[in-house]
Each structure stands twice: as structure tokens, then as C-alpha cells.
Amino acid sequence: MPCEPAPRRLERTDGGTRVNFSMRVIAIDGPAGSGKSTIARRLARRLGLEYLDTGAMYRAVTFAALRHGVDPADRARVAELARVIELEVDETAVRVDGVDATVEIRGPEVSRTVSIVAANPAVREEMVRRQREWAHKRGGGVMEGRDIGTVVFPDAILKVYLTARPEVRAERRAAEVVGLDYATVAADMARRDAYDSGRATSPLRQASDAFELDTSDLTIDEIVEDLARRIDA
């Protein structure tokens, strides 16, 4: 039986009206290759909650920009695109304006460009709005990204910041990305770490009250059970 974390009662003001939401959000943040996606999926199943990969949303906007011939560095045009695209993200697929982009968003072209799009303040504002809407409709969920615990849901019932040794992260990502060798992946990850941590809007950082966990030498089962126990505690 999935364990049931106690709901967190939140109050937010939307358009001047105070609304209560009974939310069960688990926030999992960390850099690429730290194990966020695998762990978040497994934990969501363990808890009987839905799962959202927020990084896939920024990749989807990047894919849309490239598909429409929009320069990812053109902040105004990319922001407008982010506001109007039809975006569907679930555990098995990503669709952009009805087009299955599940494979393409993980490809090298999107991977090289996504940090530029993710640093766009207006794009982040729109994606955060959609992420909060997703969670509100479901009464919560397990959400993974880079700013879930610091920006999107600072009142999450559990905030986790995952890390791993740089060489472990690079090995994991190299195994996922077709056509890229370890050295290329390691260099790209180091560049993205610096970019994500240094951006002005919603930088990658650990929330002050997040539990930090190094996943380098732990199995997925060990991590998921540890996190589930923390929710039950």
C-alpha cells in the first residue's frame, strides 16, 4: 500500500482573492545527472502521486523555438512562444503543439541550448505558472527540477536536494544521451552547472530547509525508501 503523506494546507492570493489549497507536494531539486528523474518517478509511484519533470517543460520550449526558427537568445520571441504553445508533459511522453517531442528534447541540439531558454525570466514565469496549475489540479505531486523547493513550491511537505560526484553524474548522462561521449557530456554539464547556478532568475541552489542527499553510492530503492520514511515521520 502506498504511504499517504499528510496534506499541507496552503493559502495563496490569486487576483486579490485568498484561496486555500490542500497540497501534497514533494520537491526534488538538483543538477543534471544527480538522479532526480528516476528517483522522483519511483517515489511518486511509491506514494501514489503523479509526477512532473519540470526540466522537460523548458526543453519543450527550447524545442519549439528551434522548430519555429526562433533564436533561443531572443528573449521576447521565446517568451511569447512559451505563453502560447500547447504543452503536454506526462511520465511517458512530451508533446508540443500536438507533436511528440519525447526523443528530440533530449537530443544534443536542445541540450546545448536549453540553459539559455531556462534563464529567460519571462519563460520561467510562465513555466512556474503552469507548474503550480498542474499541482493545484492534482492536489500535489512529486515535482523535480532546479527551483521547485526555492521558487515553485517553497511550502512543499518535503524538499530534497540531490547531488552526486561530477564523474558519476557525467557517466549517468552519457548513458542517456545517444551520440555523445563522456568527455563531451562532462564538459557540457560543467558549463550548464555554472550557467544555472549563476543566472539571475531562479538559480540552481539548495533550499535552506531541504534535505541534501548524495546519490553516488546509493541504490534507487535505498533512496526512495529513505525519502518515503521522511515523509511518514
**C-alpha span between 115 and 106 (Å, rounded):** 13
Residues 67-104: tens digit of each pLDDT: 999 999 999 999 999 999 999 999 999 999 999 999 99
Of the options 3.30.70.580, 3.40.50.300, 3.20.20.30, 3.40.50.720, the CATH number for the domain spanning 22-232? 3.40.50.300
Residue spans per domain, the chain: 22-232
What angle do the packed helices 54-67 and 121-138 form, to 10 degrees? Answer: 130
pLDDT band at 119 (very low <50, low <70, confident <90, very high): very high
Supply 75's cell numbers: 528573449
Query: Is residue 62 over pLDDT 70?
Result: yes
Residues 19-34: tens digit of each pLDDT: 334 689 999 999 989 9
Query: Is residue 3 over pLDDT 50?
Result: no
Residues 122-158: tens digit of each pLDDT: 999 999 999 999 999 999 999 999 999 999 999 999 9
Q: Count CB atoms within 10 A of the CB of residue 133.
A: 10
**Looking at residue 139, what is its pLDDT?**
95
**C-alpha span between 35 and 39 (Å, rounded):** 6
Pairing of strands 140-145, 17-29: parallel
| Nearest-5° Cα angle at 160, 154 to 165 | 135
Supply 51's cell numbers: 509526477
* Mean local confidence (pLDDT), 158-186: 87
Contact assessment for residue 47 and residue 158, using Cβ atoms and an 8 Å cutoff: no
* Mean local confidence (pLDDT), 106-131: 94
pTM given for the model: 0.85
**Looking at residue 22, what is its pLDDT?**
62
Residues 178-217: tens digit of each pLDDT: 667 888 888 888 888 888 888 888 888 999 999 999 999 9
**Looking at residue 10, what is its pLDDT?**
43
pLDDT band at 5 (very low <50, low <70, confident <90, very high): very low
| Alpha-carbon torsion, ordered 27, 141, 116, 162, to 10 deg | 30
Query: Is residue 18 over pLDDT 60?
Result: no
